């Protein structure tokens, strides 16, 4: 177990900067998720920490020790790849034993360690099989067993769930979190999937354009996005951003309360806000409403999400009196995209 720290870490490829001065500290035993769209530099950052990519400048510290020039094998890390990267010519048992053998572990201890890892992931009966004879979920477990078998200081996981089908993914996510809790190993997890990030991370670092846009606990990042990128990237559908009097006003689709929906407690009073519904999408587990706010920004389309438990009848083509807790409104500078202090919502009655 160890901390991982990057200091002003940069990576330039010919023609573009993949990682642009990242300072990041992962605490001991923490599960940190790097979240961002493809091409944001998150995988490059992970690969630099692994030693698979050399940094252009900056420092990487693992356990307080600068590892800039150490090869991957000397960094006391384990990595799970998106493709799992199992050795196709070796049996499951030999795959799991591979890191131990590579490090020259005593032969007697290897079999025991392999069995222990296999048991932990419930793959004892697969030990004699070859990777190509395994299902996606089984491969993922083998990859995890291979990663943890030699007690690394740090786990690096590169989208390890993206090759599983949706049903399996939820299960695997839960298991993964439990293993990490049990082992208490410092973990860096790369994903573009916000659900994984929210569900797994002790903290989330949202990346874009090679920089960390925001670092914080999942709820914090969700509730208090630092800029419009984070606001737009997290949440499904994402935060509505409405230009009103020179600022961008943001609120989550589920924060606009339908007539008759119960108000939240402890967040202050709810103010009325009219919502012109243009289209209703029934998703089974809830409803999505597409429309505009005629009093504030009649030209800006917004999305409102109604929970299953909200039974108000809403029809397209009509305008309703919705409500909004003012404390839920976030304000952003339209130029820089950064958060600005909250202010009273200027109402602009056009009709």
Partner 1 sequence: MADPKKIAGGVVNFGVIAAFTGFAAFPFAWMVITMFKQTKDLLDPAHNPFVYNAPPTLEHLRVLFQDTLFLHWVGNTLFVGVLVVLITLVLAVPAGYSLARLTGPAGEKLGIGIFLTYLVPPTILFIPLSRLVALLGLQDRLWALVLVYPSFTVPFCTWLLMGFFKVIPKDVEEAAMIDGHSRLGAFVRVILPMSVAGLLTTIIFSFTLVMQEFVYGLTFITSSKNLTLSVGVPTFLVRGDVYFWGSLMGACFLSSVPIAILYNLFVDRFIAGFTVGAVKG
Partner 2 sequence: MTAPALARPGFVERAAGVSDSARWLGRLMLAPAVLYIALVVAVPFLMAIGYSFSNVTIGTSTPRFVGLENFRNALQDPAFLKALGNTAIFSLVSQTLVIVLASILAIALQRRFRGKWLVRLLILLPWVAPISLGSIGWLWIFDPVYSVINWTLRHVGILGPDSWPIWLGQPNLAMASIIGVHVWRTMPLATIISLGGLSSIPQDIHDAAEVDGAGFFRHLFVITLPLVLPILLVAVLFGLVFSVTDMIVVYVLTRGGPFDSTQVLASLAFFKSIDGGDLSGGAAVALFLLPVLAVCAVLLLRLARRAEVV
Is 276 an interacting residue with respect to partner 2 (CB under 8 A)?
no
Find the binder of partner 2 among 128, 151, 311, 338 (CB under 8 A): 151
Query: Look-up: residue for tokens 């587990």?
Result: 285
Is 133 an interacting residue with respect to partner 1 (CB under 8 A)?
no
Is 79 an interacting residue with respect to partner 1 (CB under 8 A)?
yes
Structural tokens at position 273:
């806000």
Is 150 an interacting residue with respect to partner 2 (CB under 8 A)?
yes
Name the segment binding partner 1 (CB under 8 A); options: 18-26, 62-70, 73-81, 108-116.
73-81
Q: How far apart are CA 300 and CA 303, in angstroms?
A: 10
Looking at the Cβ atoms of 46 and 176, the one nearer to partner 1 is: 46
Is 14 an interacting residue with respect to partner 2 (CB under 8 A)?
no
Is 105 an interacting residue with respect to partner 2 (CB under 8 A)?
yes
Find the binder of partner 2 among 184, 260, 272, 334 (CB under 8 A): 184
Pairing assessment for the beta strands 16-26 and 4-13 based on DSSP bridges: antiparallel
Helix axes 136-148, 107-120, angle to 10 degrees: 140
**For the window 145-184, what string marks contact with partner 1 as x by the rule CB under 8 A?**
-x---x----------------------------------
Looking at the Cβ atoms of 81 and 179, the one nearer to partner 1 is: 81
Looking at the Cβ atoms of 9 and 148, the one nearer to partner 2 is: 148
**For the window 45-74, what string marks contact with partner 2 as x by the rule CB under 8 A?**
------------------------xxx--x
Q: How far apart are CA 7 and CA 17, in angstroms?
A: 16
**For the window 154-183, what string marks contact with partner 2 as x by the rule CB under 8 A?**
-----------------------------x
Q: How far apart are CA 100 and CA 150, in angstroms?
A: 6
Looking at the Cβ atoms of 138 and 153, the one nearer to partner 2 is: 153
The answer to whether 8 and 23 are in contact (CB under 8 A) is yes
Q: How far apart are CA 250 and CA 329, in angstroms?
A: 6
Residues 108-147 touching partner 2, rule: CB under 8 A, are 109, 113
**For the window 194-233, what string marks contact with partner 1 as x by the rule CB under 8 A?**
----------------------------------------
Q: Which residues bind partner 1 (CB under 8 A)?
A: 50-52, 71-73, 77-79, 81-89, 98-99, 102-103, 146, 150
Contact residues: partner 2, CB under 8 A: 1, 69-71, 74, 76, 100, 103-105, 109, 113, 150-153, 183-184
């Amino acid at each position: 177990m160890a901390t991982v720290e990057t200091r002003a870490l940069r990576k330039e490829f010919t023609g573009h900067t993949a990682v642009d001065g990242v300072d990041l500290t992962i605490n001991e035993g923490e599960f940190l998720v790097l979240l961002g769209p493809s091409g944001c530099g998150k995988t490059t950052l992970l690969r630099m920490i692994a030693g698979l990519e050399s940094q252009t400048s900056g420092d990487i510290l693992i356990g307080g020790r600068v590892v800039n020039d150490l090869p991957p094998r000397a960094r006391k890390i384990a990595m799970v790849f998106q493709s799992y990267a199992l050795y196709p010519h070796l049996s499951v048992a030999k795959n799991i034993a591979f890191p131990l053998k590579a490090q020259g572990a005593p032969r007697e201890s290897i079999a025991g360690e392999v069995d222990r890892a296999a048991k932990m992931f419930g793959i004892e009966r697969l030990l004699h099989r070859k990777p190509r004879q395994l299902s996606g979920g089984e491969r993922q477990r083998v990859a995890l067993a291979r990663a943890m078998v030699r007690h690394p200081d740090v786990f690096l996981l590169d989208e390890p769930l993206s090759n599983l089908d949706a049903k399996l993914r939820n299960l695997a996510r839960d298991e993964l979190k439990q293993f990490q809790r049990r082992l208490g190993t410092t973990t860096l997890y790369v994903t573009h999937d916000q659900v994984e990030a929210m569900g797994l991370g002790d903290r989330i670092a949202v990346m874009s354009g090679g920089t960390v846009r925001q670092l914080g606990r999942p709820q914090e990042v969700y509730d208090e996005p630092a800029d419009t990128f984070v606001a737009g990237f997290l949440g499904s559908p994402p935060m509505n951003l409405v230009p009103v009097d020179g600022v961008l006003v943001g609120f989550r689709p589920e924060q606009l309360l339908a007539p008759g929906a119960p108000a939240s407690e402890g967040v202050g009073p709810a103010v009325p806000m009219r919502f012109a519904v243009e289209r209703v999408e029934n998703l089974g587990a809830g409803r999505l409403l597409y429309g505009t706010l005629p009093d504030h920004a009649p030209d800006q389309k917004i999305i409102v999400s109604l929970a299953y438990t909200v039974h108000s009848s809403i029809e397209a083509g009509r305008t309703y009196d919705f409500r909004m807790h003012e404390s839920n409104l976030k304000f952003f500078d339209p130029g820089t995209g950064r958060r600005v202090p909250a202010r009273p919502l200027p109402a602009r009655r056009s009709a």
